[in-house]
Structure 1
């Protein structure tokens, strides 16, 4: 009697997690990873594993509440000055973060667009960061 063999489980690849929040700006909502645009003056390859590119990018948004501002509600006339009121504008989701990741070794950098400060780094996966060699010698 044949014993049924267990089905082969395909190896699942787990992408590194993007940060949920920025200490300065609060909660971040991320869009999907997309291939980076190819530009002639920028090298699209990964500096760690020499993946030829393109790298992957994602855009992050935070909830922005604008400061109250003054709005004129009545124009001035000869006998009366303009009438102004302070108005609070509606908050909205604003693009504030940018992430770049190598699809080959998963090295990832996350930047805050306001000052281009790096707020998160994920080191490359060691097994995939080293290019294969014919003689199995690293250096």
Structure 2
């Protein structure tokens, strides 16, 4: 028995996976892919496939636990000095990673914002990165 296939299912694209962890900072939670902001001094085109842009960007968050800090619990008077204690502040999710992807060829770079180190690279999909020619010769 032949099962009819959905033509739209064959055309669906699977986006490249973003890294789940950073070796330095741990688990990463990613936001949605959004079109990159267009800036007048930055070329929005893809340097690999010449897609005119805009490229897609996503921000990643890691769980940050700030170090304990000292806080004053009582002010000083002439008779006694100030009283201090160490307090552990609440941990929170903060944006620590930035990913940029070309919607045409799916080339992707992931950077850690702390020092702008590239932690992940996905090369372009060759079928989309190299435009077809009439005689199927690449160069």
TM-score higher than 0.5: yes
For 1:93-122, what per-residue CA distance to the aligned partner results, in whole angstroms no more than 9, with x for missing partners? 011000000000000000000010000000
The change in CA–CA distance for 1:24 and 1:5 in structure 2 (over 3 A counts) is closer
2:53 pairs with 1:49? no
Cα drift, residue 131 of structure 1 = 1.9
For structure 1, which segment, 4-13 or 120-129, has the greater mean C-alpha deviation from structure 2 after superposition?
4-13
Q: Give the equivalent residue in structure 2 for 1:6.
A: 4
Name stretches of at least 5 consecutive residues in structure 1 with no aligned partner: none
Offset, 1:5: 7.6
Q: Distance in 1 between matches of 2:3 and 2:67?
A: 65
1:107-122 paired onto structure 2 within 5 Å: 107-122=107-122
- Write out per-residue CA displacement over residues 8-48 of structure 1, whole angstroms, 9 at most, x where no aligned residue: 43322111100000000000000000000000000100000
1:15 aligns with 2:15: yes
Which residue of 2 is the match for residue 81 of structure 1? 81
Question: Which stretches in structure 2 are left out of the alignment for 5+ residues?
Answer: none
SS in structure 1 of the partner of residue 7 of structure 2:
coil
Q: Once superposed, what is the RMSD of the aligned Cα atoms?
A: 1.6
Give the Cα–Cα distance (whole angstroms) in 2 for the partners of residues 110 and 4 of structure 1: 43
Q: Which residues in structure 2 correspond to 1:33-44 (within 5 Å)?
A: 33-44=33-44
Count residues with an aligned counterpart.
Answer: 137
Deviation, 1:6, is: 2.1
For residues 47-80 of structure 1, give each alpha carbon's deviation from its aligned partner in whole angstroms, at most 9, with x where no partner exists: 0000000000000000000000000011000111
Relative to structure 1, the CA distance from residue 75 to residue 103 in structure 2 (aligned partners, 3 Å threshold; closer, same or farther) is same
